[in-house]
């Protein structure tokens, strides 16, 4: 009789099962383009190897009376030829499946993950490990260089607060995986709840607990940003912000079968970095300002006084070192009102940067996270049955969605360990979305922007591309067929 | 790679028109063959779901309405008896089918739902046919006892993990104890079926707690974790 090990899905990650819908299954995809057609047999072997190293990825999600919980399983993952849309649903209630999948199509390998399991950084570790294991098998002659080159690139420290990929992206997956096993305490308890003694379970169970222990704080949808910032540092930004400002939201026609509309713009990273540098801002805020501009140009209803808001995730591992592959990020909301002064993308980016910098400090984040954890630990909140929690969380999520125009996520510059580095070209990053969104990732000097949206309209991406090409950047587009017209000739 | 002159960008894959602006793309591939797309074309899958949803909702609506309609007929409408029985049978069949479809991934849960639905319906049926307590006397105990036996067989036949069925087995057994309550309240005419059902449930409870006590406690602790 096998007694399964389990660990509660923390309150912060609970938002993902609760906010999951047909339109937005809360799945994200990380992909890599290799220099050859993928060999499924070797990829399967590589997957089995990586899977061994990431006990967290063995978990299935189950529903308790009060909380969701992750439970260890004996399921084995299988690589498959890509046959579903980008970010197809992964978790279905009552269906005990792994919370991730690995698919391949021609030269691409993609890892899709249900967000309650892991965040972009954790998934990037897994993908890095997978790609290393694969390329080691595919090119056995090329000995790994020991990851030394990867360690040099650490953009995070100096360039803060641009969501620095910090050690994250540049952290070789294998190394990260090993560190995970060394971890004795979860980051969540470590940083925000004070020290507690933990039980010592055995072997696999031990790995599972460590990896699955809640490291999280998805502040994202959990709280009204106004309430989240009560300290004096925020006094002026609060008083300057008129109460109850209507945030411009993008509307459109839903895709025919609720699939995520995925478009991908790739370009050399250097010219874009140069453009951002010329404006004196971090790349993420520059790209965000361009996004606002693209939406303003394409949306007639975005009048002069329109306010646009974006949510930008911040990887907490850069402030609170952690090797947990679980969710460990907070989101910061930035906004801009058009028609009040200089609306040029550069000026907008500078203002966004200012607001972002003020909030992306360890002190500000820590205050906020302590607060959230207090709410989670509140006895009354704990005894509310899970279906009621789900309902409340999905209502909070909806309210929060109303205060956002777009969402942005930047994984930054990724460096893979050898020999994967040599055989991987562009990388891709997409997140299922209820609103237009882009995700950026840079590898091998190529910046890829993965645009996702629940709508068939593509005008904002067209404007975005034109803004970039207008500035002299060479852009290429890859798109998944989505609308009924585009799929007219495709047999089911 | 083809280019869109309007958007001034290159388009990967076998597109004829720009996916962004819809204008015709320029520049053929050197070999004449279009370059394959980095994304596979995934056919639409929605219509099936839409049909299923419409069917389910319509069926549920019809079932609910027919239950209400039965209440409008007088108890003494003798000629309606056969018709009513046939119609309730049809409705019950559909209800079970719908439940089976929605709970197909969790057999143990389905059995609990089945016992609740079938028990509730027989009580309702009994009420429509001038309450003679046949439902509580025979139907509910037989149903509960049968479901316990059914569950035991299911667990034997299908390789289920203990965690997957232990909670719902527990619920089934608890339901099996309810006829005892009816008996003590004097709601039943003949005691035997209730006694057999109650005894069976008690036996299973004891069995479950002695053989799988640890697992049951573990599973309950997991599910009830605060």
Mutating which of A67, A260, A382, A478 best tests the B interface, going by the most B Cβ atoms within 10 A? Answer: A478
- Whole-angstrom Cα distance, residue A289 to residue A311? 12
User: Is A353 inside a domain boundary?
Assistant: yes
- Measured over the CA atoms of residue A200, residue A205, residue A210 and residue A216, the dihedral's sign is negative
- Whole-angstrom Cα distance, residue A290 to residue A129? 34
- Whole-angstrom Cα distance, residue A388 to residue A1? 33
- At A70-119, the pLDDT tens digits run 888 889 999 999 999 999 999 988 788 999 999 999 999 999 999 998 88
A448: CATH: 3.30.559.10
Report the range out of A44-53, A144-153, B149-158 with the highest average pLDDT: A44-53
Q: Residue A143 CB: number of other CB atoms within 10 A?
A: 10
Comparing CA positions, the residue from A173, A175, A170, A129 lying closest to residue A150 is: A170
- Whole-angstrom Cα distance, residue B74 to residue B130? 10
Report the range out of A190-194, A287-291, A371-375, B188-192 with the highest average pLDDT: A287-291
Backbone angles phi, psi at A392, to 5 degrees: -60, -45
Closest Cα in chain A to B6: A466
Q: Within 13 Å and on the Cβ side, how many CA atoms surround A328? A: 28
Contacts of residues A374-382 at CB distance under 8 Å and 24 or more positions apart, as own/partner, are: A375/A11, A375/A222, A375/A223, A376/A10, A376/A11, A376/A12, A377/A193, A381/A11, A382/A66, A382/B226
Measured between CB atoms, which of B7, B39, B161 is closest to A478?
Answer: B39
Report the range out of A310-319, B71-80, B161-170 with the highest average pLDDT: A310-319
* In A72-119, alpha helices (H): none
Q: Residue A153 CB: number of other CB atoms within 10 A?
A: 15
DSSP code of A254? B
What is the arrangement of strands in the sheet containing A27-34, beginning at the earlier edge strand?
A80-81, A100-105, A108-114, A27-34, A424-431
Q: Which of A1-10, A222-231, B142-151 has the lowest mean pLDDT?
A: A222-231
**Arithmetic mean of pLDDT, A222-242:** 36
- Cis check: omega of the bond before A277, within 30 degrees of 0: no
User: Is A202 inside a domain boundary?
Assistant: no
Q: Mean pLDDT over all residues of chain B?
A: 84
Measured between CB atoms, which of B12, B37, B44 is closest to A484?
Answer: B44
Backbone angles phi, psi at B10, to 5 degrees: -90, 145
Comparing CA positions, the residue from A84, A110, A359, A411 lying closest to residue A228 is: A359
- Whole-angstrom Cα distance, residue A424 to residue B23? 32
Mutating which of B20, B25, B168 best tests the A interface, going by the most A Cβ atoms within 10 A? Answer: B20
User: Is A378 inside a domain boundary?
Assistant: yes
- At A432-450, the pLDDT tens digits run 999 999 999 999 999 999 9
Comparing CA positions, the residue from A75, A184, A54, A68 lying closest to residue A123 is: A54
CA A455 to chain centre: 20
Comparing CA positions, the residue from A237, A248, A214, A256 lying closest to residue A492 is: A256
**Arithmetic mean of pLDDT, B77-97:** 81
- At A372-416, the pLDDT tens digits run 777 777 788 778 888 888 898 889 888 888 899 999 999 999 999
Measured between CB atoms, which of B10, B109, B226 is closest to A66?
Answer: B226
Over pLDDT 70: what percentage of chain A?
A: 78
- Coil, helix or strand for A117? coil
* Interface size, chain A vs chain B, as Cβ–Cβ contacts under 8 Å: 133
Contacts of B226 in chain A (CB under 8 A): 66, 382-383
Please tell me the predicted confidence (pLDDT) of residue A193: 63
A203-228 core/surface letters (b: 16 or more CB in 10 A; e: else): eebbbbbbbbbbbbbbbbbbbebeeb
Give the start-to-end residue ranges of the domains of chain B.
Answer: 1-42, 131-225
- Whole-angstrom Cα distance, residue A173 to residue A325? 11
Q: Which of A42-51, A181-190, A216-225, A253-262 has the lowest mean pLDDT?
A: A216-225
- Coil, helix or strand for A469? helix
Closest Cα in chain A to B212: A1
CB contact under 8 A, A476 and B218: no
More confident residue, A345 or B161: A345
- Whole-angstrom Cα distance, residue B104 to residue B94? 15
Closest Cα in chain A to B47: A257
Q: Which of A12-21, A320-329, A472-481, B117-126 has the lowest mean pLDDT?
A: A320-329
User: Is A312 inside a domain boundary?
Assistant: yes
**Closest CA–CA distance from residue A254 to any residue of chain B (Å):** 12
CB contact under 8 A, B44 and A492: yes
Domain region containing A386: 6-139+213-223+245-489
- At B9-49, the pLDDT tens digits run 999 988 889 999 888 988 866 666 777 888 998 888 765 56
Please tell me the predicted confidence (pLDDT) of residue A228: 32
Backbone angles phi, psi at A316, to 5 degrees: -75, -15
Question: What burial class does residue A152 get, using C-beta atoms within 10 Å of its C-beta: 0-12 exposed, 13-18 middle, 19+ buried?
Answer: exposed
Please tell me the predicted confidence (pLDDT) of residue B29: 62
Closest Cα in chain B to A384: B226
Report the range out of B130-134, B141-145, B172-176 with the highest average pLDDT: B141-145
Evaluate if residue B8 carries a pLDDT over 70: yes
Q: Which of A11-15, A263-267, A465-469, A474-478 has the lowest mean pLDDT?
A: A11-15
- Whole-angstrom Cα distance, residue A172 to residue A147? 7
A230's tokens: 């009560």
Please tell me the predicted confidence (pLDDT) of residue B31: 64
Over pLDDT 90: what percentage of chain A?
A: 45
- Whole-angstrom Cα distance, residue A397 to residue A416? 35
CB contact under 8 A, A476 and B39: no
A17's tokens: 């099962």
User: Is A173 inside a domain boundary?
Assistant: no
CB of B20 within 8 Å of a chain A CB? The answer is: yes
Evaluate if residue B4 carries a pLDDT over 80: yes
**Closest CA–CA distance from residue B58 to any residue of chain A (Å):** 21
Mutating which of B12, B39, B212 best tests the A interface, going by the most A Cβ atoms within 10 A? Answer: B39
Evaluate if residue A473 carries a pLDDT over 70: yes
User: Is A443 inside a domain boundary?
Assistant: yes
- Cis check: omega of the bond before A120, within 30 degrees of 0: no
- Whole-angstrom Cα distance, residue A11 to residue A218? 9
What pLDDT band is residue A162 in, cutting at 50, 70 and 90? very low
Measured between CB atoms, which of A84, A462, A491 is closest to B7?
Answer: A462
- At A23-68, the pLDDT tens digits run 899 999 999 999 999 999 999 999 999 998 888 899 899 888 888 8
More confident residue, A4 or A282: A282
What pLDDT band is residue A6 in, cutting at 50, 70 and 90? confident
**Arithmetic mean of pLDDT, B114-122:** 91
Sequence-ordered list of residues with C-beta below 8 angstroms from that of A288, at least 6 positions apart, any chain: A310, A312, A334, A349, A352, A406, A408
CB contact under 8 A, B45 and A257: yes
Q: What Rg value do the Cα atoms of chain A yield, rounded?
A: 22
Q: Residue A347 CB: number of other CB atoms within 10 A?
A: 15
The Cα-based distances of A118 to A9, A59, A65, B72 in angstroms read: 11, 11, 23, 56
CB of B59 within 8 Å of a chain A CB? The answer is: no
Contacts of A490 in chain B (CB under 8 A): 41-44
How many domains would you assign to chain A? Answer: 1
CB of B105 within 8 Å of a chain A CB? The answer is: yes
**Closest CA–CA distance from residue A12 to any residue of chain B (Å):** 15
What pLDDT band is residue A10 in, cutting at 50, 70 and 90? low
**Arithmetic mean of pLDDT, A301-322:** 85
**Arithmetic mean of pLDDT, B103-110:** 83
CB contact under 8 A, B44 and A458: no
Give DSSP secondary structure letters for A297-349: HH-TT--TT-EEEEEEEEEGGGTS-----S--EEEEEEEEETTSS--SHHHHH
What pLDDT band is residue A229 in, cutting at 50, 70 and 90? very low
- Coil, helix or strand for A415? coil
CB of B22 within 8 Å of a chain A CB? The answer is: no
CB contact under 8 A, A492 and B42: no
CB contact under 8 A, A477 and B161: no
- Whole-angstrom Cα distance, residue A414 to residue A141? 24
Contacts of A484 in chain B (CB under 8 A): 44
More confident residue, A143 or A120: A120
Inter-residue contact A387 to A67 (CB < 8 Å): no
């Amino acid at each position: 009789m096998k007694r399964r090990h389990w660990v509660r899905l923390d309150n912060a990650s609970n938002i993902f099962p609760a906010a999951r819908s047909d339109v937005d299954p809360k799945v994200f995809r990380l992909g890599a383009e290799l220099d050859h057609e993928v060999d499924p047999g070797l990829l399967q072997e590589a997957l089995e190897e990586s899977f061994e190293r990431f006990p967290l990825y063995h978990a299935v999600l189950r529903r308790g009376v009060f909380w969701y919980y992750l439970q260890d399983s004996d399921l084995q993952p299988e690589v498959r030829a890509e046959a579903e849309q980008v970010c197809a649903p992964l978790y279905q209630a009552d269906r005990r499946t792994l919370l991730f999948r690995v698919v391949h199509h021609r030269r691409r390998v993609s890892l899709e993950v249900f967000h309650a399991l892991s965040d972009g950084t954790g998934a990037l570790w897994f993908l890095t490990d997978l790609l290393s294991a694969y390329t080691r098998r595919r090119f056995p002659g090329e000995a790994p260089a020991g990851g030394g080159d990867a360690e040099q690139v650490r953009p995070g420290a100096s360039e803060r607060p641009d969501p620095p990929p910090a050690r994250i992206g540049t952290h070789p997956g294998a190394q990260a995986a090993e560190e995970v096993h060394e971890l004795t305490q979860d980051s969540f308890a470590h940083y925000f709840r004070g020290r507690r003694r933990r039980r010592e379970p055995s072997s696999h169970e031990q790995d599972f607990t460590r990896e699955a222990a809640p490291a999280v704080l998805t502040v994202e949808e959990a709280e009204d940003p106004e309430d989240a910032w009560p300290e004096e540092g925020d006094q002026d930004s609060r008083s300057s912000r008129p109460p109850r400002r209507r945030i411009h939201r993008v509307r459109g026609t839903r895709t025919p079968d609720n699939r995520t509309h995925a478009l991908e713009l790739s370009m050399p990273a250097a010219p874009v970095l140069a453009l951002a540098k010329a404006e004196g801002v971090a790349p993420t805020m520059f790209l965000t300002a361009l996004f606002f501009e693209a939406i303003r140009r394409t949306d007639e209803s975005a009048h002069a006084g329109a306010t646009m808001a974006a949510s930008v995730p911040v990887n907490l591992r850069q402030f609170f070192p952690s090797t947990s592959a679980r969710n460990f990020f907070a989101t910061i909301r930035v906004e801009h009102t058009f028609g009040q002064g200089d609306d040029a993308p550069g000026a907008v980016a500078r203002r966004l940067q200012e607001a972002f910098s003020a909030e992306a400090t360890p002190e500000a984040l820590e205050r906020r996270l302590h607060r959230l954890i207090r709410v989670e630990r509140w006895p009354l909140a704990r005894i509310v049955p899970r279906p009621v929690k789900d309902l409340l969380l999905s209502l909070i999520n909806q309210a929060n969605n109303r205060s956002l125009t777009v969402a942005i996520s930047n994984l930054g510059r990724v460096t893979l360990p050898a020999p994967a580095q040599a055989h991987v070209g562009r990388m891709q990053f997409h997140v299922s979305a209820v609103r237009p969104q882009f995700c950026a990732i840079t590898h091998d000097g190529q910046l890829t922007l993965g645009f996702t949206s629940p709508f068939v309209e593509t005008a904002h991406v067209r404007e975005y591309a034109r803004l970039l090409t207008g500035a002299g950047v060479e852009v290429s587009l890859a798109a998944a067929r989505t609308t009924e017209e585009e799929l007219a000739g495709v047999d089911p | 790679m083809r280019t869109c002159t309007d958007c001034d960008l290159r388009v990967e894959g076998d597109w004829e028109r720009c996916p962004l602006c819809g204008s015709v793309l320029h520049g053929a591939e050197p070999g004449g063959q279009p370059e394959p797309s980095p994304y596979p074309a995934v056919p639409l899958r929605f219509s099936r779901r839409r049909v299923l949803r419409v069917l389910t909702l319509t069926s549920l609506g019809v079932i609910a309405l027919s239950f209400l309609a039965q209440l409008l007929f007088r108890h003494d409408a003798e000629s309606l008896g056969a018709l009513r029985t046939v119609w309730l049978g049809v409705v019950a069949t559909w209800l079970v089918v719908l439940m089976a479809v929605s709970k197909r991934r969790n057999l143990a849960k389905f059995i609990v739902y089945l016992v609740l639905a079938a028990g509730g319906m027989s009580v309702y049926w009994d009420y429509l046919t001038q309450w003679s307590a046949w439902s509580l006397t025979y139907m509910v105990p037989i149903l509960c006892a049968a479901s316990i036996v059914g569950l035991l067989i299911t667990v034997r036949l299908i390789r289920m993990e203990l965690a997957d069925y232990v909670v719902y087995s527990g619920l089934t057994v608890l339901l099996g104890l309810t006829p005892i309550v009816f008996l003590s309240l004097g709601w039943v005419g003949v005691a035997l079926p209730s006694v057999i059902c109650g005894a069976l449930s008690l036996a299973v409870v004891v069995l479950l707690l002695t053989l799988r006590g640890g697992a049951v406690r573990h599973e309950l602790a997991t599910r009830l974790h605060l």
